C-alpha cells in the first residue's frame, strides 16, 4: 500500500510517499481503507522525533482517519466490510489502509463526508474527555480555551456551546484570528499577543476567575493560568508547546482548592480509550447526526502534498482542521 514514510526525523521535507506492506487486523481489530486522515499537532512532534508511537502501534504518522472497512478480525461482531466509519488509531492513518481497535471505531453519520468524519476522533474526543470527564465542566461554569483556531479548541467551543449553553466561554487567539473566533459565539476573545489573559479574565469575571481552563501551551502559561483560575477551579494541561517545567505555589493551590490535571489520549490503554469512545458516542454523536455541530475544515490536501499540509499547521495559518485525502471518494 501507499503510505507517508520518513527516512529520518526533521522538517516537513523528510516525509515522502512510499510503498509498505498492508497491515493485517488482529482478532479485535478492523482494516479500514482510508479515504481521509486529519493532521494533528502530535503528528508534527512525532515527525520531529519527539513523540514516538506507543509500543505495538504503527510508526506511520496519523492519529485519526475515516474510510470503509474492508476486513474484520475474528472477534469483531459490531462491524462488517463495507461499513463507513471513522476512528482513533495509535498511528498509521497517513496510508491507504489502517488497522484500528473495533472498540474505538464509530459509524459515520449518513450525511457526513469522509473529510469531515476524519476530523472527529482525535480532536472532539480529546476536547470531550478533558472538559467533561476530567474537568467535569457543569453548565453555567466558565471556561477558558487557549489557542482559537486550532482543532481541539474549535471542537471545545462547539461542545461547550452545545452541552453547556449557559457556560461563559473565553478564548485566547492571535490578532488575525480574533474576529473569526468571535463569530463562533464566544463571550470574550483575548489577543494573546497584546493582552495579559490573566488580567483580562480578572476584569471580565470581576476578580472571580474561571472554573475550567483547557491548555496546550504548558509552562509559558502556567503562572497566568493559576492566577486566572477560580476557587475550586480545574486546570487541564493537554500539551507542552512552550515548556514542560514551571514553578508552583503550593500554598495558593491549597488555599484556593484548585486542581491541576495532566492528560493525554494516545498513550492510554485500549480499554480506557474504548470507554471514552463509548461515552462520546452516547453524548456527542447525536449532535453530529442531527447536524447541530459539524467539523470546521480549514483546508484539504492530497496525500502527495503532506509536506504542505504540515507546513501550514506549523505556520499557524489554519483555522479549523487540516485534512489529507487519499483519493476522490
pLDDT in tens, 274-321: 999 999 999 999 999 999 999 999 999 999 999 999 999 999 989 999
Kindly report, residue by residue over 19-64, the tens digit of the pLDDT: 999 999 999 999 999 999 999 999 999 999 999 999 999 999 999 9
Helix (H, G, I), strand (E, B) or coil at 243: coil
Q: Which domains does the chain have, with CATH numbers?
A: 2-120+266-325 (3.90.180.10), 124-262 (3.40.50.720)
Kindly report, residue by residue over 151-201, the tens digit of the pLDDT: 999 999 999 999 999 999 999 999 999 999 999 999 999 999 999 999 999
Residue 93 near residue 60, CB atoms below 8 Å: yes
231, 236, 241, 244: CA torsion to nearest 10: 80
Kindly report, residue by residue over 239-286, the tens digit of the pLDDT: 998 999 999 999 999 999 999 999 999 999 999 999 999 999 999 999
Alpha-carbon distances of 203 from 161, 225, 256, rounded to whole Å: 23, 15, 19
**pTM score:** 0.94
Q: Is the dihedral of CA 164, 165, 171, 174 positive or negative?
A: positive
Nearest to 208 by CA among 238, 222, 229: 229
The reported pLDDT for the residue numbered 148 is 84
User: For residue 329, what pLDDT band results from cuts at 50, 70 and 90?
Assistant: very low
Q: Is the dihedral of CA 322, 270, 73, 281 positive or negative?
A: negative
Amino acid at each position: 500500500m501507499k503510505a507517508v514514510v520518513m527516512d529520518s526525523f526533521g522538517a516537513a521535507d523528510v516525509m515522502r510517499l512510499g510503498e509498505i506492506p498492508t497491515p493485517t487486523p488482529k482478532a479485535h481489530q478492523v482494516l479500514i481503507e482510508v479515504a481521509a486522515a486529519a493532521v494533528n499537532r502530535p503528528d508534527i512532534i512525532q515527525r520531529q522525533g519527539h513523540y514516538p508511537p506507543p509500543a505495538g502501534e504503527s510508526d506511520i504518522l496519523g492519529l485519526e482517519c475515516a474510510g470503509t472497512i474492508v476486513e474484520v478480525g475474528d472477534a469483531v461482531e459490531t462491524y462488517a466490510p463495507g461499513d463507513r466509519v471513522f476512528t482513533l488509531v495509535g498511528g498509521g492513518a497517513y496510508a491507504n489502509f489502517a488497522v484500528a481497535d473495533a472498540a474505538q471505531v464509530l459509524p459515520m453519520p449518513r450525511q457526513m463526508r469522509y473529510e469531515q468524519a476524519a476530523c472527529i476522533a482525535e480532536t472532539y474526543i480529546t476536547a470531550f474527555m478533558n472538559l467533561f470527564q476530567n474537568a467535569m465542566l457543569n453548565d453555567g461554569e466558565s471556561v477558558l480555551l487557549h489557542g482559537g483556531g486550532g482543532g481541539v479548541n474549535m471542537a471545545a467551543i462547539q461542545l461547550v456551546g452545545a452541552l453547556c449553553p449557559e457556560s461563559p466561554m473565553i478564548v485566547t487567539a492571535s490578532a488575525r484570528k480574533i474576529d473569526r473566533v468571535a463569530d463562533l459565539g464566544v463571550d470574550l476573545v483575548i489577543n494573546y499577543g497584546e493582552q495579559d489573559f490573566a488580567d483580562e479574565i480578572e476584569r471580565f469575571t470581576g476578580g472571580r476567575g474561571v472554573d475550567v481552563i483547557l491548555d496546550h501551551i504548558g509552562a509559558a502559561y502556567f503562572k497566568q493560568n493559576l492566577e486566572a483560575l477560580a476557587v475550586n477551579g480545574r486546570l487541564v494541561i493537554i500539551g507542552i508547546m512552550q515548556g514542560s517545567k514551571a514553578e508552583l505555589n503550593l500554598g495558593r493551590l491549597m488555599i484556593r482548592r484548585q486542581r491541576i490535571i495532566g492528560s493525554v489520549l494516545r498513550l492510554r490503554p485500549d480499554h480506557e480509550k474504548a470507554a471514552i469512545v463509548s461515552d462520546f458516542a452516547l453524548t456527542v454523536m447525536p449532535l453530529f447526526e442531527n447536524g447541530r455541530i459539524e467539523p470546521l475544515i480549514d483546508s484539504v490536501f492530497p496525500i502527495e502534498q503532506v509536506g504542505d499540509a504540515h507546513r501550514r499547521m506549523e505556520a499557524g495559518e489554519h483555522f479549523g482542521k487540516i485534512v489529507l485525502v487519499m483519493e476522490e471518494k
